Structure 1
């Protein structure tokens, strides 16, 4: 029986939307998710996706996917494709076609001309260094550009020549004429257009002037009829400029901007610049390396869309900045996989065991449940004379409380028989290379009366098991705040050298030969794993550890 869907906890944005609909301010809501296609999306974007698409779905509205593609020098089709895949993978659908800010370049350019004609914009030739000097500081007002009082006719001519490509990149900009003494520095004659001679992935070579984000964003929202333009808190100081543009142009609608606290997750970096640096300098294996904080990395590592949506709901939506512990995200994926992931056995460090009293050539097919609580069937596991167990499951001199194999001791093989360790075979260096054991044929799936066997270990058949590679992924950084290391240390100095351990020659039970990249498994006693979507082949299975069975950090 399915559980009734829980009512999501309220937060201030839900309350605003509910109030706007109840009061009749809006008949329906329109939100938007406007990523820049200059990198892959990270876990912080997942919160924004869940919020914007989630609100639209909850209140029967629409959410647009719009690429803010105003900087062609840093944008690529690869990023556009990856972003679309991430949104769909998280379980959301955008309303209508994918939108681009470049769809509105003609209209934005026309509105820029209107601002010039109204005396509210001018072409400035200050260098970037001079512009910073003229801008002032938080405690000192700026001063007017010497080009601020150009005539409308001269500004129109200069802007037309900028558009025609007569000037080099950075030679001139179009600026809004607002107030160089404004306390909010975003209102100190902000840039509306820059010269950039670059091929655009959507418009080709049509343009060599491109609008700024601040000039593009509000007008794009207005053109699309967005009702609630939801941004993170760093855009709060930009809201007066957002509103100035809307109030000074004949836009078809007047959207309202709202801000919420961005997601800060410890043991990660979410700066696109830093993520790109990790990729470019090959500290990781691409944007989807399972140690990265990108959505595609979490997908490759075996995280489920449901676990990430649950995480975003669990941490809530507030206007107060804070840091979320990585353990919360790991709890969400463990909780999801514990309930749904089939069980399987994989021996990471194989040690051969020969069961000396088991008949040679005999194979017994055992049926083990695929899940201890859910009825999702069984998997067939051959039991034979030679098997593998993990090297750590036999010790000559065990510590106190050790419940696995010792010389003369017994353990139960998961779903199978009780075996006793009779003899350890060593090589010339004294390393144990094989165990000779005996089994009790009366113990299949039971303990005879009066017999106590405390330890249960996993195993796989030697002949029928499949050889595989297992990658033990962990947190990429060894400190909670990688950006704030010891004096002089940068985030690269905080990379965890044990964030990836590759184990070759592992042995997995035969049922895992049918695994697909959409499957997740609990490898009993080892953690949750998935088939690697990039490197695994039928001839060479590669399994990634999604998360350990329990939190081992800080213990």
Structure 2
């Protein structure tokens, strides 16, 4: 008997609403990103929550773009967001845009003016800010607050018709300049912005503010549960005020804790800085916390969904260790990634008693964790590449790899014994000479010899050359946003290392961007977008173990 998983607080609300018939037996959610950048792992949490709730309760989830700020929004971002949502495994019921509702939102604003609940203000943004007051003192009424309805209607229409410059006038809701919640002190609901919109072109030169567009868009779509992050909790009274005054469908807003993760920044503004200032190669740089960056690095959608489910839905902010995300990635890739051999820091090994010119074809399992994973053929020859760290001239007591007189097994092949080695004038090992035991072949070993070490290898005449990019965390402190000074001062200078000559199995010659592998003993890697048939490129996704935690303990 399996233990039933407890409900999170939003699921409890939904089940109560369904039981009481509050929403007419419906569950309608939405994911409403602004198309002003690429989605990051924090958005993935919101995507999994909104689409997951709709699926669990046989409802629907809309993808609605909050495209009310034309100067920062681009079609490129729209397309990337759609790609990310699909890649995570979700499909929206309707693809919608706040710009779909510009005519309706304008009509709503006009309705507020007619009810004496909105007015055109000629004050500058600085003058408006100066009259807002503080948590300890009330604000002051604008000198334009008592304009009559007809004048406000005329001025608002003139704003729409392009008669005024940016910032010359705004439309404000008339709520209460003494309200304890500063957001309700006559908030701006429309501003003038002469900018080309990625969908509506130059039809509009006035655009609704987020607080005005958001709740009304929810209402138009009859969203039953409008789920936002905690920073919007103070916006909820205004959300409700607009719906109540306009007497429209009563959508309700609920807030949950956003995702904060160690060694990461989640601010789109800061991520855009990293891109624009060349600190990273783009939004999909594998070091970025963007979904596209994680996909390029080799993370799986399954791992991200599992991560979001594991951290759960809470009402209180907390910091999640990035190690938990990496754990989920390892768990996913352990089950799905084929094992291959790649030598990152090569040194040549020669089997002096193996026949020259001979090649054997060894059959190795692709993935021992997957009974249906199949096998592959790996060529074996007299000369091979091994990792430089797998040989020690003066081996330590418990060094179970190669050294003078020591024996190891070559993965899937034979036991070998080190007989000799060569060094250059600088003392670097250039070639290792070994003899192999013909009777010790894996799967048919009659040698009677047991060795403690097994190392990986790649046959020299059959090896393919690849570039490997070793990625580490982008920041060297846990919470770069909370540190003093510019957050970019805390970028990890060793966040990427490029290895230009890595030898890989010939089976990898036909790999495609996005393919994922476990490089035996080295970690998980993914074929990069930069790969071509002439030059293969692999990104390190995550190590086999959490080495960062060990380093942190040392520090």
TM-score (normalizing by structure 2): 0.97
From 63, 66, 69, the equivalent of 1:68 is 66
Partner of 1:525: 521
Distance in 2 (alpha carbons) for counterparts of 1:338 and 1:305 = 14
Partner of 2:34: 36
SS at match of 1:65: strand
Shift of 1:428: 2.6
From 534, 540, 544, the equivalent of 2:539 is 544
Distance in 1 (alpha carbons) for counterparts of 2:37 and 2:45 = 17
Distance in 2 (alpha carbons) for counterparts of 1:554 and 1:263 = 21
Task: State the Cα deviation string for residues 86-120 of structure 1 (Å, max 9, x = none).
Answer: 00000000003x10000000000011111111110
Matches within 5 A, 1:292-307: 292-307=288-303
Shift of 1:516: 2.1
Distance in 2 (alpha carbons) for counterparts of 1:432 and 1:208 = 70
From 173, 186, 190, the equivalent of 2:187 is 190
Distance in 1 (alpha carbons) for counterparts of 2:376 and 2:288 = 34
Partner of 2:354: 358
Distance in 2 (alpha carbons) for counterparts of 1:489 and 1:177 = 39
Shift of 1:498: 1.2
Partners of 1:353 and 1:434 within 8 A in 2 = yes
Shift of 1:190: 0.3
Distance in 2 (alpha carbons) for counterparts of 1:509 and 1:6 = 45
- Within the alignment, does 1:139 sit opposite 2:133 as a pair? no
Partners of 1:123 and 1:147 within 8 A in 2 = yes
Partner of 2:451: 453
Q: More deviation in 292-301 or 513-522? A: 513-522
Shift of 1:237: 0.3
From 420, 425, 433, the equivalent of 1:423 is 420
Partner of 1:259: 255
Shift of 1:22: 2.0
From 204, 207, 215, the equivalent of 2:201 is 204
Shift of 1:451: 2.2
SS at match of 1:352: strand
TM-score (normalizing by structure 1): 0.97
Distance in 2 (alpha carbons) for counterparts of 1:108 and 1:360 = 80
Partners of 1:36 and 1:67 within 8 A in 2 = yes
SS at match of 1:483: helix
Distance in 2 (alpha carbons) for counterparts of 1:282 and 1:449 = 58
Partner of 1:331: 327
Partner of 2:106: 109
SS at match of 1:408: coil
Partners of 1:370 and 1:377 within 8 A in 2 = yes
Matches within 5 A, 1:144-163: 144-163=141-160
Partners of 2:181 and 2:234 within 8 A in 1 = yes
Partners of 1:484 and 1:490 within 8 A in 2 = no
Distance in 2 (alpha carbons) for counterparts of 1:101 and 1:439 = 70
Q: More deviation in 450-459 or 331-340? A: 450-459
Partner of 1:291: 287
Q: More deviation in 113-122 or 427-436? A: 427-436
Distance in 2 (alpha carbons) for counterparts of 1:345 and 1:21 = 54
Partners of 2:296 and 2:514 within 8 A in 1 = no
Partner of 2:305: 309
SS at match of 1:119: coil
Task: State the Cα deviation string for residues 2-60 of structure 1 (Å, max 9, x = none).
Answer: xx999654201111111211222232210000000000011000000000000001111
Distance in 1 (alpha carbons) for counterparts of 2:437 and 2:387 = 21
Q: More deviation in 174-183 or 137-146? A: 137-146
Q: More deviation in 514-523 or 388-397? A: 514-523
Cα 1:310–1:356 shift into 2, 3 Å: same
C-alpha root-mean-square deviation of aligned residues, in Å?
Answer: 1.4
SS at match of 1:72: coil
Shift of 1:258: 0.4
Distance in 1 (alpha carbons) for counterparts of 2:337 and 2:2 = 21
SS at match of 2:395: coil
Partner of 2:553: none
Distance in 1 (alpha carbons) for counterparts of 2:340 and 2:525 = 10
- Within the alignment, does 1:240 sit opposite 2:237 as a pair? yes
Once superposed, which parts of structure 1, at least 4 consecutive aligned residues long, lie more than 3 Å away? 4-9, 446-450
Distance in 2 (alpha carbons) for counterparts of 1:334 and 1:311 = 11
Cα 1:76–1:354 shift into 2, 3 Å: same
Partners of 1:404 and 1:411 within 8 A in 2 = yes
Partner of 1:386: 383
Distance in 2 (alpha carbons) for counterparts of 1:402 and 1:489 = 46
Partner of 2:7: 10
Shift of 1:517: 2.4
Partners of 2:32 and 2:63 within 8 A in 1 = yes
Partners of 2:257 and 2:317 within 8 A in 1 = yes
Partners of 1:386 and 1:462 within 8 A in 2 = yes
Shift of 1:247: 0.5
Matches within 5 A, 1:222-241: 222-241=219-238
Matches within 5 A, 1:67-106: 67-96=65-94, 98-106=95-103
SS at match of 2:367: coil
Structure 2 unmatched runs, 5+: 551-555
Q: More deviation in 265-274 or 489-498? A: 489-498
Shift of 1:500: 0.5
SS at match of 2:265: coil
Partners of 2:334 and 2:369 within 8 A in 1 = no
Matches within 5 A, 1:41-60: 41-60=39-58
Equivalences, count:
547
Distance in 2 (alpha carbons) for counterparts of 1:337 and 1:240 = 45
